[in-house]
Chains A and B, each alone.
Chain A
Amino acid sequence: GNSVTQMEGPVTLSEEAFLTINCTYTATGYPSLFWYVQYPGEGLQLLLKATKADDKGSNKGFEATYRKETTSFHLEKGSVQVSDSAVYFCALSADNQGGKLIFGQGTELSVKP
């Protein structure tokens, strides 16, 4: 079946450090891929998405590239801020599945000043 695997957290970084959160997926066909973020005390928000191979999603300095050959969608940011501290979820939406999302387990990021 379809699934998403993320690197385990928590991830602790100093401000201005480089961030990578790994995400790989298993799916038939050509899924759409998403990163959602959950800030402390808030609901899930879409961070970025990509709908086909080699697409790059980007938002708020974060980027992720849809790599079909490695079935990956790693999240990167060149310089993190304290305000980026949150839980990040990778997710996929498979073909002909009505848009339902399959999530990874989440990766908690803590950025220290």
Chain B
Amino acid sequence: GAGVSQTPSNKVTEKGKYVELRCDPISGHTALYWYRQSLGQGPEFLIYFQGTGAADDSGLPNDRFFAVRPEGSVSTLKIQRTERGDSAVYLCASSLVGQGVGDTQYFGPGTRLTVL
């Protein structure tokens, strides 16, 4: 079956521009997560959706970052006024329920964002 997909795979933008990154989770998964991975580091949590609602957005670095999941499936991560420090690989993951102990998260291939 289809796994988690993310588009685009690569995005190059200029400082100050707005970008949108898309995540298509595994069908039927209610939980969706966004992480950011800088070079040589482990992924860092950004935001978690349970259904349509953001259950935990404590990892968003500032108010330039925003994410939505309007129908409880596809999610979009939006970054306004991009900065060079936003350059990273943005990972999306989904899991069946999100709250169970040890619920497995399945990761997408990521979107590599480069801000020039």
Contact = CB atoms under 8 A, between A and B. Distances in A.
B40 interface: yes
A103 to B, nearest CB: 3
A31 B98 CA distance: 14
B105 A99 contact: yes
Contacts of A49: 102, 104
Contacts of A32: 101-102
Interface string B30-50: 010101000011111100101
A101 B105 contact: yes
Nearest to A97: B56
- Interface hub of A45, A93, A101 (most chain B Cβ within 10 A): A101
Contacts of B25: none
Interface string B88-116: 00010101001111111111111000000
Contact of B55 (A36, A51, A98): A98
Contact of A101 (B43, B50, B99, B110): B43
State which size class the interface on B falls in.
20 to 34
A102 B45 CA distance: 7
A51 B48 contact: no
A89 B42 contact: yes
A43 B6 CA distance: 11
A89 B44 CA distance: 12
Given A43-B107, A43-B110, A99 B98 contact: yes
A91 interface: yes
B42 to A, nearest CB: 3
A1 to B, nearest CB: 11
Interface of B: 31, 33, 35, 40-45, 48, 50, 55-56, 59, 91, 93, 95, 98-110
Interface of A: 4, 32, 36, 42-46, 49-51, 89, 91, 93, 95, 97-106
Sort A-B residue pairs by CB-CB distance and give the 10 closest, nearest first: A103-B42, A51-B102, A32-B102, A44-B107, A43-B109, A99-B98, A100-B45, A43-B107, A98-B48, A105-B42
